[in-house]
């Protein structure tokens, strides 16, 4: 018999998971994503006006639905110039409050390596879904 | 940038970056006066104390709109350093004479001294400084028809080049037979910078026009665009500027919705037995126990017996 997690339970699960600060970071190396990845797999971008983002619990919007999900306001990385060597961006990764890799994603292969210049913008819309 | 009807005003010239050339317009209504006009021009790349030039007061009666003393539209003047590297005045008397009744098309100043050398062009229109001057100056000449129905279309951005493009389209019927030479698009940002960013020629019989524009994505800076027609001549003529359009260039180079999704799943191994019977019936050859559970539509469940052969105290046959 299949286990059922009701929507109200999903909301509770989301709240428990998200009740901590996460760090949203961009990585500059062409990392291969896989189940053995850790925070050390990625080289964080530096320079060019880059600053990592902190995702706080208060700003998550948890929606009761089927399945329930949580969204976070758009996070914009606006660059003021080229980034430090290698000057490329391949994707983003998120660390939990303990510095453990929560999840990571590479950008569309057609867009990488992305080489920011002054005025470049990367916008990430975080979302967590449980079903 | 222009100011209208102000008796004492400061006009900041628009400086075309990298050239040190500045253009300023000062327009006044008919009969305006007295007026003190000060133009400040900053040469590109130089600190204000070195590159700031001001045109000081023009004495009454010698400033008007019109031609120079030789009857030429526009005039040439040499500005000399007043000693403080900030204020300059016109050499040889301190004024440029214009005959009344016309609007000057341009004043060309050769700047010397103060670490700044070069030619600076001004387009100015002055009114009389004499409060008793009853001369009725004609309004500044303009082209009659203003481009209309201005719109922004085909807005796209290239994530590889990080350039954004669009088309400004507008309508011009030439109803007043202005017959302009062409049309120009100004870009105005929220910092007050005005930059011509595109143009297209007038074509007789054509009423729909398109001017391509482009920009690099810059967050926090808003851009508006306006269109006017122009016509070369003495003086050069412009129409009024069209309705300004706000173009939102806020397209990120990379936009991604990060969805972290996971699913909780599994089967339930625990079975709750209700209404269990305590009576056993031995069936020859049966190697499992059949238990009546009567849970929903499930009436019985068979359970395997590890070893069906057991010694019982039952004696029978």
Strands (E), chain B: 8-12, 14-16, 21-23, 36-42, 52-55, 75-81, 87-90, 107-111, 118-122, 148-158, 163-171, 182-189, 194-201, 208-216, 223-231, 237-238, 245-247, 254-262, 288-295, 298-304
Q: 3-state class of A17 per DSSP?
A: helix
Inter-chain CB proximity A119 and B216 less than 8 Å: yes
Q: Tell me if A116 sits within 8 A of A89, measured CB to CB.
A: yes
Angle in degrees, CA A7, A8, A11, rounded to 5: 90
List pLDDT tens digits, range B190-235: 777 778 888 999 999 999 999 998 876 555 667 889 999 988 875 6
- Given A3, A114, A116, which is nearest B266 (Cβ)? A3
Rounded CA separation B251/B253 (Å) = 6
List pLDDT tens digits, range A16-63: 999 999 999 999 999 999 999 999 999 999 999 999 999 999 999 999
Provide the mean pLDDT of chain B: 59
CA distances from B174 to B171, B181, B232 (A): 9, 12, 16
Q: Give the DSSP letter of residue B114.
A: T
Name every residue whose Cβ is closer than 8 Å to that of residue B134 and which is 6 or more positions away in sequence.
B31
Q: Tell me if B162 sits within 8 A of B145, measured CB to CB.
A: no
Interface test with B, best of A27, A121, A130 (most B CBs within 10 A): A121
A 103-122 near B (Cβ less than 8 A): 103, 105, 107-108, 111, 114, 116-117, 119-122
**A48 touching B, CB under 8 A?**
no
Q: How many CB atoms lie within 10 A of CB B264?
A: 13
Interface test with A, best of B214, B215, B221, B254 (most A CBs within 10 A): B254
B 218-247 near A (Cβ less than 8 A): 218-220
A51 or A114: whose pLDDT is higher? A51
| Predicted pLDDT at B18 | 31
**B252 touching A, CB under 8 A?**
yes
Q: Helices marked H in B11-78 — which ranges?
A: 48-51
Interface test with A, best of B164, B248, B256 (most A CBs within 10 A): B256
Rounded CA separation A85/A47 (Å) = 9
List pLDDT tens digits, range A74-89: 898 988 888 999 999 9
Give the closest-approach CA distance of B297 to chain A in angstroms: 14
pLDDT band at B80 (very low <50, low <70, confident <90, very high): low
Interstrand relation of B87-90 and B107-111 (parallel, antiparallel or unpaired): unpaired
Rounded CA separation B185/B210 (Å) = 10
Give the closest-approach CA distance of A45 to chain B in angstroms: 15
Radius of gyration in angstroms for the set of CA atoms belonging to chain A, rounded to a whole number:
16
| Predicted pLDDT at B296 | 58
B180 or B196: whose pLDDT is higher? B180
pLDDT band at A97 (very low <50, low <70, confident <90, very high): very high
- Given B159, B253, B259, which is nearest A129 (Cβ)? B259
CA distances from B36 to A48, B88, B135, B267 (A): 47, 15, 18, 89
Rounded CA separation A94/B212 (Å) = 41
| Predicted pLDDT at A85 | 93
| Predicted pLDDT at A91 | 94
Output the six-digit token pair for A80: 């003021």
Inter-chain CB proximity A125 and B257 less than 8 Å: yes
Q: How many CA atoms lie within 13 A of B59 on its CB side?
A: 6
Q: Name the nearest CA neighbour of A19 among A102, A125, A116, A97.
A: A97
- The residue behind tokens 């030479």 is B181
φ/ψ of residue A16, rounded to 5: -70, -40
Rounded CA separation B200/B180 (Å) = 11
Name every residue whose Cβ is closer than 8 Å to that of residue B93 and which is 6 or more positions away in sequence.
none
Inter-chain CB proximity A125 and B256 less than 8 Å: yes
């Amino acid at each position: 018999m299949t286990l059922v997690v009701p929507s109200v339970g999903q909301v509770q699960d989301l709240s428990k998971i998200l009740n901590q600060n996460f760090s949203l970071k961009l990585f500059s190396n062409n990392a291969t994503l896989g189940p053995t990845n850790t925070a050390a797999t990625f080289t964080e971008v530096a320079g060019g006006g880059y600053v990592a983002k902190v995702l706080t619990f208060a700003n998550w919007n948890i929606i009761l639905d089927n399945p329930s999900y949580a969204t976070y306001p758009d996070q914009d990385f606006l660059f003021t110039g080229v980034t430090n060597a290698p000057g490329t961006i391949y994707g983003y990764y998120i660390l939990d409050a303990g510095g453990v890799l929560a999840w990571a994603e590479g950008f569309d292969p057609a867009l990488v390596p992305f080489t920011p210049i002054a005025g470049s913008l990367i916008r990430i819309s975080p979302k967590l879904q449980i079903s | 940038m222009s100011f209208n009807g102000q008796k004492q005003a400061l006009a900041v010239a628009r400086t075309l970056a990298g050239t040190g050339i500045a253009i300023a317009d000062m327009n006044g209504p008919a009969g305006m006066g007295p007026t003190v006009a000060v133009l400040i021009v900053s040469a590109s790349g130089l600190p204000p104390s070195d590159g700031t030039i001001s045109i000081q007061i023009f004495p009454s009666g010698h400033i008007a709109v019109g031609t120079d003393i030789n009857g030429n539209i526009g005039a040439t003047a040499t500005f000399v350093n007043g000693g403080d590297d900030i204020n300059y005045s016109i050499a040889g008397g301190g004024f440029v004479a214009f005959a009344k009744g016309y609007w000057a098309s341009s004043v060309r100043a050769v700047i010397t001294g103060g670490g700044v050398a070069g030619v600076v062009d001004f387009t100015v229109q002055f009114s009389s400084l004499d409060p008793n001057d009853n001369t009725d100056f004609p309004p500044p000449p303009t082209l009659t028809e203003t481009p209309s129905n201005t719109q922004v279309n085909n807005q796209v951005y290239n994530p590889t080049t990080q350039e954004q493009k669009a088309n400004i389209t507008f309508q011009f019927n030439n109803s007043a037979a202005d017959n302009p030479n062409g049309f120009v698009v100004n870009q105005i940002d929220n910092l007050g910078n005005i930059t011509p960013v595109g143009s297209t020629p007038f074509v007789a019989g054509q009423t729909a026009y398109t001017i391509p524009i482009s920009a690099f994505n810059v967050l926090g800076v808003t851009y508006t665009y306006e269109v006017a027609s122009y016509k070369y001549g003495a003086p050069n003529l412009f129409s009024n500027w069209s309705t300004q359009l706000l173009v939102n260039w806020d397209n990120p180079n990379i936009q991604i919705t990060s969805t972290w999704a996971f699913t909780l799943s599994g089967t339930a191994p625990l079975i709750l037995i209700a209404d269990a019977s305590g009576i056993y019936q031995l069936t020859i050859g049966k190697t499992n126990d059949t238990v009546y559970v009567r849970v929903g539509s499930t009436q019985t469940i068979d359970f395997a017996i590890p070893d069906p052969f057991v010694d019982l105290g039952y004696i029978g046959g």
